[in-house]
Amino acid sequence: MKILENVSLKKFNTFGINANARYFLEANTVFDIQNFLADKSFSPFRAVAGRLLILGGGSNILFTKNFDGVVLKNNIKGIELLREDAEHYYVKAGAGELWHQFVLHCIKNNYAGVENLSLIPGSIGAAPIQNIGAYGVEQKEVFLELEAINIKENKLVVFSKSDCRFDYRDSIFKQEAKGKFIITSVTFKLYKTPKLNTSYGAINREIEKMGDKEVSIASISRAVCNIRRSKLPDPEKIGNAGSFFKNPTIPSEQYQELMKRFPEVVAFPPSPSDNRAGAKVGSEARGEGWKLAAGWLIEQCGWKGKQVGNTGVHKDQALVLVNYGNAKGAEVFELSEKILQSVKEKFDVELEREVVVV
């Protein structure tokens, strides 16, 4: 395992931002990571928060400057059927596997549960950190447990589902456990009999358009891929990190006020059965508030399709910021600040970034 110096991260982040890492290493096994953690010459980087960065697919990160520390690219591979019972398949995947490759593997083998999460960029290890979700399903619905190395103690530990404290685009790994663990594998509990979820209207419309007579996990997956390809820019062609902001949740009273001023506001009620706009779980399911479509708020502020220097807001989905080529991370960040301000001014709603800013 080689530790390199001054490595460009451009090809390791889907925004395509050119920032350098002071040190860079790729880990192919748990042993590689444990070896690195045992290496005393790098202790100073492990002791200070924010100087060791674990990179998966690099699809939810914005580098605003060079990284003065160690970037560890997690490349641990492998997908393994551990066991099965009458209703489930238990499948373990290495943290460095690409999420969509895993989804394709599941569909090929008829393991149901992740079809709605097709084509989400990023790695298996990153999926539980922000509890990825799309088209009415969240990763936590099929999550069983994960293995991670405790950085301080260099020991492998297991996190159960409740340990992870999943919420909408959130988990313990974005809170108390942030920067303290390196996820090495995730085990999922997938279904033998699919629970087909076409509640997200666009899926049904797409399946009809495709002319499929029967709905299956494969047809849902194809429909989701078609929808995503039609709305979201392909990072291979135009740098981006998916939704840049989260859909904000606001209290009912605030929502009523907002409705008076903007009757056409796109929002999803605090009901556990409602799963539109990535809502479904967490604060909303607990009845804490209404989830607003941040894309709508941003569009209403006139940002959709706008180009500002080398960066801009995507023309088909206002939640996505893009790099038109050679954008600096700081430029993208500045644009996101302006968007935050204008949404605050017009609607008195605070948006929160989903992307990790480094």
Which residues are catalytic, by number?
A: 169, 243, 354
In the sheet that 290-292 helps form, which strands lie side by side, from edge to edge? 249-250, 290-292, 267-268
Nearest one of 140, 133, 128 to 118, comparing CA atoms: 133
- Of residues 172 and 301, the one with the C-beta less far from ligand EPU: 301
- Of residues 184 and 243, the one with the C-beta less far from ligand EPU: 243
- The span from the first CA to the last CA of the chain, in angstroms, equals 25
Stretch that binds ligand EPU, among 41-49, 62-70, 315-323, 333-341 (CB under 6 A): 315-323
290 binds ligand EPU (CB under 6 A): no
296 binds ligand EPU (CB under 6 A): yes
Distance CA 199, CA 20 (A): 43
- Of residues 23 and 290, the one with the C-beta less far from ligand EPU: 290
State the pairing for strand pair 311-313/320-323: antiparallel
- Of residues 155 and 195, the one with the C-beta less far from ligand EPU: 195
Binding mask 89-128 for ligand EPU (x = CB under 6 A): ----------------------------------------
DSSP-derived 3-state class of residue 296:
helix
Q: Specify the residue for token string 């929808």.
A: 227
Burial of 168 (0-12, 13-18, 19+ CB in 10 A): buried
135 binds ligand EPU (CB under 6 A): yes
Binding mask 195-234 for ligand EPU (x = CB under 6 A): ------------------------------------xx--
Amino acid at 168: Y
280 binds ligand EPU (CB under 6 A): no
Among 266, 285, 330, 340, binds ligand EPU (CB under 6 A): 266
322 binds ligand EPU (CB under 6 A): no
Under the phi-then-psi rule, with left for phi > 0, alpha for psi from -120 to 50, and beta for the rest, what region is 58? left
246 binds ligand EPU (CB under 6 A): yes
Q: What is the 3-state secondary structure (H, E, C) of 19-57?
A: CEEEEEEEECCHHHHHHHHHCHHHHHHHHCCCCEEEECC
- Of residues 69 and 295, the one with the C-beta less far from ligand EPU: 295
Provide the binding-site residues for ligand EPU, judged by CB under 6 A: 134-135, 231-232, 242-243, 246-247, 266, 277-278, 293, 295-296, 299, 304, 317-319, 354
